[in-house]
Amino acid sequence: MLKRIGARAGPDERARMLDAESIESYRTALLKRRETLQPARTESADSVELDQSRVGRVSRVDALQQAAMHAAAQRLRGAELAGITRALQRIETQTYGWCLQCGEPIATARLDVNPTAEYCVSCAERRET
């Protein structure tokens, strides 16, 4: 009778526990993402060789810029892979979906966008500033 569930808080904030099915779908998404990130390592090595054969046409600045972009992409990929590994570990230890900072549940809408999210929205915002 006095059910006010959902009146203020969204369904994401109410779902304090992720069900096994949701966890499994995040796990699948994480594993897929990891697969797309890993083979890129050999690919990028090829593209570096390709760039060297064109070095006469590419100015030194361009080459340096490309190398910097390449390194940045490599760093991002490494960071994302590490994030995926940590997320998979949290699934194993059943701490997945909980903010590492405040211990509150992370909104599923946030996890849907980024399954490696480690902090709830408010903690993530606080960390960025």
Write out 3-44 in H/E/C secondary structure. CCCCCCCCHHHHCCCCCHHHHHHHHHHHHHHHHHHCCHHHHH
CB-wise, 82 or 102, nearer to Zn ion? 102
Residue 102 interacting with Zn ion (CB under 5 A): yes
Considering CB under 5 A, how many residues would be counted as binding Zn ion? 5
In the block, residue with structure tokens 């946030």: 110
Give the residue, chosen from 84, 99, 111, 117, that forms a contact with Zn ion under the rule CB under 5 A: 99
Residue 111 interacting with Zn ion (CB under 5 A): no
Residue 101 interacting with Zn ion (CB under 5 A): yes
User: Shortest gap between Cβ of 115 and Zn ion (angstroms)?
Assistant: 17
CB 55 within 8 Å of CB 85: no
User: Shortest gap between Cβ of 100 and Zn ion (angstroms)?
Assistant: 8
* Backbone angle region of 94, left / alpha / beta, with phi > 0 → left and psi within -120 to 50 → alpha: left
Name the residues that contact Zn ion, by CB under 5 A. Answer: 99, 101-102, 120, 123
